[in-house]
Structure 1
Amino acid sequence: MPPFRFTEQKAVSLRHRIADDIRRAILEGKLKPGDRLVELEMSKQMGVSRGPIREALRVLEQEGLLHSQPFKETVVAEFSTEEVVNVLIPIRLTVETYALRKALPAFAQEDFAFLEQCLENMRKSGESNDVVNLVESDLAFHEYIVVKSQLSNLMNIWSSIFNRIRLHFFMQDEKYEDITRVWEQHRPLIDTMRTGQIELAVTELTKHIYDMNLLSLGLPMHRK
């Protein structure tokens, strides 16, 4: 187990509170990719039985934040470059570009105002080196487009990969040379969306997703 310690849980805590505690530790970087999670040690630290901990670990494994094999250790999931490029990016592109095509015709001034507020939150978070709030604001920006599509099946897919995206955003922003510039990467997308030209906006969103992900991996950017 890494030196990070879990807080003691009250007797009323069950798998969801425990899962929230573990998830937060992973997303805030207190538990790193590859760190081992040992049920017995966690049980002692939290002051609960191993049953709800085992259930919580199962939930987080389904979310993609943990990885385990039968009769083997459970570890915090790692993202390989191959997985990001060949799995995560294509799924995001499929979900977000389809959502944008459906959502953009219904966008009004208040919708753009929300996205602008997300950018402002990203700018302030970057300047204060607050990676947690930077990631949450970035996620809020992208999730808003998905939700605005009002397609329940699409939102279900997004929900199933949400924490994988969230974890990758944390890893991505930690590697970004200057996080004060993250908000600027979203500006061309909003400006293009304001034109109302759907295919141009989809093209810009595609470039944005590729650029932000590939840059964090040290790979050449998609944008020319």
Structure 2
Amino acid sequence: MKIEGKGTDLSVKRRPLAETVREQISNIILNGELKPGDKLNEMEIAGRLEVSRGPVREAARQLEEMGLLETHAFRGSYVKKFSQREVADIYSLREILESTAALEAVRLATPSDLNAIEVAMRDTETAALSNSRSRMMESDAAFHTALCRAGKNDRITETFKRLATELRLVHLMMSPNPEQLRAAALDHAAILRALRSRNAQHVVDALRSHITGERDVVLQYLAPHGSNTGSSVSPRGVDGPQETRFTGKIIISRHSAKDYPLLARMNRELADDEGHRNPMTVAQMEERFRHFVNKEGWSVDLFKVGDEIVGYATHRRDNDPTNPNRQCVFLKQFYIVRHYRRDNFGKAAFDALAAARFQEGERVVLEVIENNPGGRVFWMRVGFTPYSSMLEYIHQ
């Protein structure tokens, strides 16, 4: 990816070289010039900063320790791109850190601490009103860092600051959503009100609602099925923005032979988004699709908006393993292209599929792999309930 200069003074004079190079590369990443998954072009960066490649390599090593880059042998350094499991782990750690800090802040926060939190909260409100994603990411980090500082535990604060960098990368993996910006601002106001009241339970409830709501939005965006919620969950007692819903028409149509190349590409994206370890190439997946349909009797339906194919589902009826006297529907694959994973489109697509292909009262079953926590959240919000877990053992 080519990086264009944006008027920033990138001179490395008068400052320690390694510090300047690291700081400038960090800014390039956190400002979104390099996206998660993009390769860091050492030669281009060195030319832009007017330094040799040695300091760039050293800066890349330090940025890897900070969690901004990941290095692959013989391939170079790439902006960190998190899996769903890693995102879930980040939010779990965040909830532990901030809940602990918030409980201490109820007892220990000074008027100066509360003022710092309020300043950051006002900045999030301004960012939401102006629909500024970059300002929201900065003010959001400032709000939660100030909250941690109010708990008077330096180790929690320092750990959270590193986590905040990873969270910013997570947010850069998503498309901007004005509703989520407004929801975050409302959540921050509720957290501060609870903290000012010195009510420990209300603070923890508001904070956890904010964190888990944001986590669910992120996981569902990263899942291959599409978001089932338009905004994060607001704390109790706070009226958040109304949930957005897809209101257009979704056309359900059977695939044709000419669709196999596209289906194979979407299937590869589905496997990657789920964290599936399927090693098949696109060409192999295309051949497998033909086998599914021609030899195994699977049906493939396309989701269309106008003339655009925006997803697909693979399903078939078979004997119900829980009742030999009836059949059920096995939903093998369900995929929505990434730019349609918003406004409840995934649920709208499933509802359209169910109305077109499934019978009333029919049992529908599917498998969700452990590396796809966003998928589990999505399907449970659609209305599926857990039934069984598949475990594996690999004998050595």
- Shorter-normalised TM-score: what interval? 0.7 to 0.9
| Partner residue of 2:109 out of 107, 110, 114 | 107
Aligned partner of 2:302 in structure 1 is: none
Higher strand share: 2
Taking only the aligned residue pairs, the percentage that are identical comes to: 27
C-alpha distance in structure 2 between counterparts of 1:145 and 1:124, whole Å: 19
Report the CA distance between 1:76 and its aligned residue. Answer: 0.8
2:154 aligned with 1:145:
no
- Specify the SS of the correspondent of 1:75: strand
Aligned partner of 1:117 in structure 2 is: 119
Larger-Rg structure = 2
- Specify the SS of the correspondent of 1:68: strand
Aligned partner of 1:20 in structure 2 is: 23
Q: How does 1:1-224 map to 2 (within 5 A)?
A: 2-5=1-4, 9-12=11-14, 14-85=17-88, 87-171=89-173, 174-175=176-177, 177=179, 179-218=181-220
The TM-score, its normalising length taken from structure 1, stands at 0.86
Q: Which moved more, 1:143-152 or 1:155-164?
A: 155-164
Give, as a single letter, the amino acid of the residue that structure 2 aligns with 1:19. Answer: R
Contact 1:176 1:216 in 2 (8 A): no
- Note the alpha carbon deviations across 1:9-47, whole angstroms, 9 max, x for none: 435551211111111111111111111112223222322
C-alpha distance in structure 1 between counterparts of 2:13 and 2:116, whole Å: 40
- Specify the SS of the correspondent of 2:12: coil
Aligned partner of 2:380 in structure 1 is: none
Report the CA distance between 1:170 and its aligned residue. Answer: 4.5
**Aligned CA distance change for structure 1 residues 114 and 46 (closer, same or farther; 3 Å):** closer
Contact 2:117 2:147 in 1 (8 A): no
Aligned partner of 2:304 in structure 1 is: none
Q: Unaligned 5+ residue runs, structure 1? A: none
C-alpha distance in structure 2 between counterparts of 1:122 and 1:83, whole Å: 26
- Specify the SS of the correspondent of 2:176: helix
How many residue pairs are counted as aligned between the two chains? 222
- Specify the SS of the correspondent of 1:74: strand
**Aligned CA distance change for structure 1 residues 173 and 107 (closer, same or farther; 3 Å):** farther
Q: Unaligned 5+ residue runs, structure 2? A: 221-226, 237-396
Give, as a single letter, the amino acid of the residue that structure 2 aligns with 1:94. Answer: I
Report the CA distance between 1:66 and its aligned residue. Answer: 0.7
- Specify the SS of the correspondent of 1:37: coil
- Specify the SS of the correspondent of 1:4: coil
- CA-based RMSD of the aligned residues comes to 2.5
The TM-score, its normalising length taken from structure 2, stands at 0.51
**Aligned CA distance change for structure 1 residues 135 and 74 (closer, same or farther; 3 Å):** same
Q: Which moved more, 1:173-182 or 1:40-49?
A: 173-182
**Aligned CA distance change for structure 1 residues 68 and 94 (closer, same or farther; 3 Å):** same
Contact 2:110 2:150 in 1 (8 A): no
Contact 1:122 1:134 in 2 (8 A): yes
Contact 2:213 2:233 in 1 (8 A): yes
**Aligned CA distance change for structure 1 residues 174 and 217 (closer, same or farther; 3 Å):** farther
